[in-house]
Structure 1
Amino acid sequence: MFRTSILNRIEETKIMAIVRVETLKRAIEIADGCLAGGVDCLEISYTLPNAGEMIKQLNEQYQEKLLVGAGTVLDSETARLAILAGAKFIIAPNYNESVCKLCNRYQIPYMPGCTSVTEMLTAIEAGAAMVKAFPISSYYGPSLIATLKTPTPYLPIMSSGGANLTNIHEWLESGVDCIGVGSLLTKGTQEEIMENAKQLKQAVIKHRTQKN
């Protein structure tokens, strides 16, 4: 799977679950709930020591049904381990040049966290596939994306935090390219996760229908 194919799938799904769990059993419950609701992109955070093994196991179990990537990747060593485990994309709270180079070498989309337009353009010019508006998404909300896209309409942006069932339509209207969602898709029962994923995905489908 090449970088462009991975990016196309991320942009098509539009919603990405941000997962921080300690056990594979819980990760599978989240994955099953998300898939049942129409969300097939999961970021497994490297804030936990077993993230690599979790990525490997999820890939083996779900194959092409699920697009699994790594989050909170702060250095190139971790990025390489994540890619070897099967991560299809790399996300970080910061921009790191060595991680960017490594991801480009292996045709893996890199999405670093950026706060300013200067940081975002620096990352894109270096080869980042998308920038993550972090931690500013939670503070400024959907209006942030429209503000950023006014001078740089070609800039691919992923939000991280701030999106919920009430304002999902505003985020979609803002022009965001991917919406990272945490607790809605990782907390509660598998059925609750499925219902939340379903509502988020329905909002994406409705937005596309109205746009076309």
Structure 2
Amino acid sequence: MTTYTETWSELASARVVPVVVADGEAEGLNVADALRRGHLPIAEITFRVAGAAAAIRAISEDYPEMLVGAGTVIRPDQVDAAVEAGARFLVSPGISEAVVARARAHEIPIIPGVATPSDIMRAVELGLDTVKLFPAGTLGGPAAVKAFAAPFPGLRFVPTGGISAHNMGDYLMLPQVLAVGGSWMVDRALVQGEDWERVTELSRDAVELAEQVVASRPLPHPADLHPADSLGTAVEGEER
């Protein structure tokens, strides 16, 4: 079984997290296969559609090497559904103490969304060290990441919202950015049109660009970002 720390390491290594709308098993498997062929074996399946859990389950069973997670998780029962389906990480558009607590009960990584300094302070109070800056483009792009990061040394960001092939490198150049989330390589029109070759091509391009950026600004080692006992401390009820 993959450990909590190993999942964080895989997220850091991926650098790009495709945000996927996959309504059901067939779409999920086709998207996953296209991403894999593009050397991007990770997917955040959004819970905005009814078939999300089925897509996660199919991917986790047929492509166990994929790092599949659940996005738009806004209620504790969705945490349960995502974990039961095989999700290995969770992403939320905002920060909910109930959702974070349920994720910790399942010992699964969660990346809650933040949009203000108050949101970030709440995340820190909950013992979190990685947050999703959302919607990053609307909030000011890479400049916003720098501004938000300054008062919170050690905090890592996964900017999402308005990320594209044209600006992802600007985010990944920042040492505070663990990875970026985006949907351009899995655009809904491409998925519904079953243009899997285009999904693969865009994924491959994203991976190559991320590698070029990392070559000039290496990411911190994942073990330095998430100590092995970080979840255990919270689960055991100690103050963080």
- What's the TM-score, normalizing by structure 1? 0.92
Q: What is the match of residue 201 of structure 1?
A: 207
Shift of 1:104: 1.4
Q: What is the match of residue 198 of structure 2?
A: 192
Percent identity at matched positions? 24
- Output one character per residue of 1:127-170: Cα deviation in whole Å (capped at 9) or x when no partner: 33521111243442222212222222311111112222222221
Q: What amino acid does structure 2 have at the position aligned with 1:120?
A: I
Q: What amino acid does structure 1 have at the position aligned with 2:143?
A: S
Q: What is the match of residue 154 of structure 2?
A: 154
Shift of 1:70: 0.7
| 1:37–1:196 Cα contact (<8 Å) kept | yes
The SS at the match of 2:93 is coil
Matched, 1:124 2:124: yes
Gaps of 5+ in 2: 219-240
Shift of 1:173: 1.2
Matched, 1:9 2:10: yes
Paired residues, number: 211
Let me know the Cα RMSD of the aligned residues: 1.7
Matched, 1:168 2:174: no
| 1:113–1:132 Cα contact (<8 Å) kept | yes
Q: What is the match of residue 53 of structure 2?
A: 52
Shift of 1:57: 1.0
1:138 to 1:203, Cα distance in 2 relative to 1, 3 A? farther
The SS at the match of 2:87 is coil
Distance (Å, rounded) in 2 between the aligned partners of 1:79 and 1:99: 7
Shift of 1:9: 0.5
133-142 vs 53-62, greater mean Cα deviation: 133-142
Q: What amino acid does structure 2 have at the position aligned with 1:167?
A: N
The SS at the match of 2:48 is coil
Distance (Å, rounded) in 1 between the aligned partners of 2:40 and 2:126: 30
- What's the TM-score, normalizing by structure 2? 0.82
- Output one character per residue of 1:20-43: Cα deviation in whole Å (capped at 9) or x when no partner: 122422222221221112212211
Which structure: larger Rg?
Answer: 2
Gaps of 5+ in 1: none
